[in-house]
Amino acid sequence: MTTELRKIAEGAKEASRVLAQLPSDHKARALERMAQKLEEGLEGLLKANGCDLEKAREKGISGAFLDRLTLTERTVKEMALGIREVAALPDPVGQVVRMWRRPNGLWVGRMRIPLGVVGIIYEARPNVTADAAALCLKSGNAVLLRGGSEAFHSNMAICRILQESLKEEGIPQGAISMVPTADRSAVLEMLQMEDLIDVIIPRGGEDLIRTVVAASRIPVIKHYKGVCHIYVDASADPDMAREICINAKVQRPGVCNAVETLLVHREAADRFLPQLLSALRDRGVEIRGCPRTRERAPWVKEAEESDWGREYLDLILAVRVVESLEEAVEHIAIYGSDHTESIITRDYANAQRFLKEVQSSVVLVNASTRFSDGFQLGLGAEIGISTTKLHAFGPMGVEELTTTKFIVYGDGQIRQ
Amino acid sequence: MTTELRKIAEGAKEASRVLAQLPSDHKARALERMAQKLEEGLEGLLKANGCDLEKAREKGISGAFLDRLTLTERTVKEMALGIREVAALPDPVGQVVRMWRRPNGLWVGRMRIPLGVVGIIYEARPNVTADAAALCLKSGNAVLLRGGSEAFHSNMAICRILQESLKEEGIPQGAISMVPTADRSAVLEMLQMEDLIDVIIPRGGEDLIRTVVAASRIPVIKHYKGVCHIYVDASADPDMAREICINAKVQRPGVCNAVETLLVHREAADRFLPQLLSALRDRGVEIRGCPRTRERAPWVKEAEESDWGREYLDLILAVRVVESLEEAVEHIAIYGSDHTESIITRDYANAQRFLKEVQSSVVLVNASTRFSDGFQLGLGAEIGISTTKLHAFGPMGVEELTTTKFIVYGDGQIRQ
């Protein structure tokens, strides 16, 4: 494998030099063709997906995992739609983000350029293949994809269609490529190619990400987990608090921006904690509370120390009554995952303090944590969420797949 | 050591939470006090430096290395001046770099926040201690410093003065700390503390940096080397080409933004290459040329393959005649180090093409490569230069010691 994989990565690097110079309209045409050909290739895609599904069933896989693996006419149409949405985004490449003049007459600017070759390592959902490829192409990057072994045939079929589209548009096929084996050792090989791959973005569970970080010699953009907090301040509006808590916990409990811990100021707890928790219980949420929560709602299960900072990804919520905003901020600093936190308040100063003092990637006032998402925040798309601070912090769109170079216009300046 | 070093790093992390919230004027006062106390502490500093110098001489160290190690009244004054300049810079922390409205009424912005704890690993020059500490404090980061063992006593003395200044200003001393041993294994320990240190910035030769990258579990901002190119286009003004080439090679040949390879378009070579090279020779530059260079200037030494892409850091220049701008861009892509390249031209289209197609961190038109520097480009200061694209690319100022978090102002929005 080593030689073959290296050749593919070299092809990606070569293609990246072409992609960096590709005009926006050329990229847009290629994306439109990718969308079209995916729709036209429906039959072949369903057939390839059938192979994966059969194997998965043989292995006894079922439930949500099998659902995510399954392609249908609808999911293929959604893939095509997703690509068209990416095509419609502004092209970040070549944007001059700032320009200024130096006393000696030099004009200095910073221009966005692609990162180069992006390696994406992801788990079962085959739609990520089209999605990630489109975002990388839009931002002028070549992409080397490594999908989950369970979706191997589906991913290869999608990749072949994307490559054909590139070919028809005169773009090197190395721009989008797939590690052509389900063998796990290929991932380790990929992670050593620091001379060919500029960044690795793993998408999947915490285990996958920790494995990648430990093995990689290439910089990794990390998303460990989302232990999101909502702090209900003393002055919070009870109706708003209830609606936001229900939305943040119940709308889609299995995702990283769902709330996992509720912190409630003692005064708010006195005013309306039992009603708030009943409303959540009525939506099927299991509550695990601190002693002061249970004083107010004795039916609540007792929280253990391990409940603080835990990512349930399920209809479970840890609840703690706090004495002050300081205590809430401190709790988040200790147990949080730097992902997303929200304050519900009517107090101006507390809103501003929370926004300033909480050092998570997304900090909200009076809004659901579920807005922590590239689309919802207005980035137009999302390639992933970073919970560490280097390069990008929080949801990442196409701009986060670029860096800036300095450009300098002179007329003969030399240094004194 | 493990326990002691870990405690120091924990102190840094704790301090970083305080620093992140520190108002700009408080940081400015602390920086002014640091400058003052360094000037007042001159005698003690010279004494500590004397210990280092004595040991270095015993080891037989001399020349430029000993010069860089030496503190004098002048260098201490310059250190203080450098800190005052950093104090006068705009504070990046809390800057909202953009803000926009979503269709559902959410206001979304991106606010600059510090990275957290910055680890700096550097070689002999003790002035880096004050310099790096000031930049980190200004940008709200705690810093853990690890200087060269030869400057150990000087660095510890500087650090003690800086910590006293912090104490007098009521800032936790953990904000600036030094690995308290000259033992090399401490560096390896430091590089494993991914839970406490957010980024490592090594400053020094390529060997140091490669060692750090190989051993670190913490993201490293890398600066491998500076193999800077000047391309003299067909239409270049001969006088401008000469002045810029002399400046870029001769003014300070031992630094990373000095030019190492000159690429000359054949037509320019026909017009004035012999005069250009003679002018460089007159300044003491050894020329190593390709066959076509030697056709025009037979006195030139023959370049070997290993001369392309070589960082001489000395009065040596490799020269190659090329057929076209494309060939120059291709040469840079193959042999360059992504650091800094300049084109000398009177042709509008070629200037724009070079700026667009060369993917180095600094690309100049009609200016010396020596401007590739944080001060010269107007960043106000420089913590280092990154030659890889993640997080920052090119000279890094205080802004590059920050990241952004999303802030969101809502009025009860929930996700549909």
Q: What is the tens place of the pLDDT at every residue in A24-41?
A: 999 999 999 999 999 999
Inside any domain, residue B358: yes
List the CATH number of the domain containing A33: 3.40.605.10
Domain count, chain B: 2
Query: Same domain for A220 and A233?
Result: no
- The C-alpha atoms of residue B192 and residue B337 are separated, in whole angstroms, by 28
Q: Are residues B238 and B89 in the same domain?
A: no
Q: Strands of A142-146's sheet, edge to edge?
A: A176-178, A142-146, A117-122, A199-203
Domain check: are B174 and B125 in the same one? yes
Is B400 found in the same domain as B345?
A: no
The CATH number assigned to the domain holding A243 equals: 3.40.309.10
Rounded distance between C-alpha atoms, residue B254 and residue B314, angstroms: 6
Judgement on whether residues B157 and B191 belong to the same structural domain of the protein: yes
Whether B367 and B241 share a structural domain = yes
A123: in domain? yes
| CB contact set of A241 (below 8 Å; sequence gap of 6+) | A232, A268, A272, A276, A344
Residue B1 has pLDDT above 80, yes or no: no
| Element holding B360 (H helix, E strand) | none
Tell me, yes or no, if A75 comes closer than 8 A to chain B by beta carbon: no
Beta bridge partners of B113: B403
Strands (E) in B272-396, as ranges, are 286-289, 301-302, 316-322, 340-344, 362-367, 384-386, 394-396
Distance CA A118, CA A312 (A): 31
* CB contact A346 to B (< 8 Å): no
Say how many C-beta atoms besides its own lie within 10 A of residue B67's C-beta. 10
Please indicate, yes or no, whether residues A244 and A173 belong to a single structural domain of this protein.
Answer: no
Q: Is residue A405 part of a domain?
A: no
A370, closest residue in chain B (CA to CA) = B415
- Decide: pTM greater than 0.90: yes
Of B24 and B207, the structure prediction assigns the larger pLDDT to B24
Give a yes or no: residue B25 inside a domain: yes
Looking at residue B82, its pLDDT comes to 94
Q: Please list, in sequence order, all residues whose beta carbon lies within 8 angstroms of the beta carbon of residue A160, skipping any fewer than 6 positions away.
A: none
Locate all alpha helices (DSSP H) within A183-235, ordered by sequence. Answer: 185-190, 206-215
Contact A366 B411 (CB under 8 A): yes
Q: What is the mean pLDDT of chain B?
A: 95
B257 plus B163 within the same structural domain = no
Residue at A397 is within a domain? no
Distance CA B160, CA B178 (A): 9
**Residue in B359, B396, B378, B91 with CA at minimum distance from that of residue B220:** B396
When CB atoms are compared, the residue of B213, B405, B410 closest to A360 is B405
Same domain, yes or no, for A204 and A266? no
Distance CA B337, CA B315 (A): 19
Q: Domain range holding B323?
A: 228-376
Residue B94 tokens read as 């809390």
Q: Which residue of B has its CA nearest to A108?
A: B377
Report the gap between the CA of B240 and the closest CA in chain A (Å): 6
- For residues B300 and B244, state if they share a domain: yes
- Distance of alpha carbon B235 from its chain centroid, rounded? 33
A413 three-class SS: strand
**Interval B322-341: pLDDT, tens:** 999 999 999 999 999 999 99
Chain B environment of A408 (Cβ under 8 Å): 362-365, 367, 371, 377
Pair (B214, B268) in one structural domain: no
Burial (CB count within 10 angstroms: exposed 0-12, middle 13-18, buried 19+), residue B58:
exposed
Residues 206-265 of A with CB under 8 A from B: 213-214, 217, 219, 237, 240, 243-244, 246-248, 251
Task: Verify that B182 and B236 share a domain, yes or no.
Answer: no
Write down how long chain B is: 416
Phi, psi of B140 (to 5 degrees): 75, 15
* A169 in any annotated domain: yes
Residues of chain A with pLDDT under 70: 1
Query: Measured between CA atoms, how close is B42 to chain A, in angstroms?
Result: 30
In whole angstroms, give the CA distance from residue B283 to residue B270: 22
- Write the pLDDT tens digit of every residue in A209-242: 988 988 888 999 988 899 999 999 999 999 999 9
How would residue B160 be classed by pLDDT, with cut points 50, 70 and 90?
very high
Residue with tokens 């980061």: B141
Q: Is residue B415 part of a domain?
A: no
Cβ(A84)–Cβ(A31) under 8 Å?
Answer: yes
Cβ contact A411:B366 at 8 Å: yes
Judge whether B199 is closer than 8 Å to chain A, CB to CB.
yes
d(CA A290, CA A267): 16
Q: Using CA atoms, how far apart are residues B201 and A390, in angstroms rounded to an integer?
A: 12
Considering the domain boundaries, does residue A95 fall inside one? yes
What's the CA gap between B317 and B228, in Å, rounded? 11
Weakest-pLDDT range from A372-376, B201-205, B287-291, B303-307: B201-205
More confident residue, B312 or A211: B312
The pLDDT of residue B224 is: 87
pLDDT of residue B237: 98
Total residues found in chain A within this entry: 416
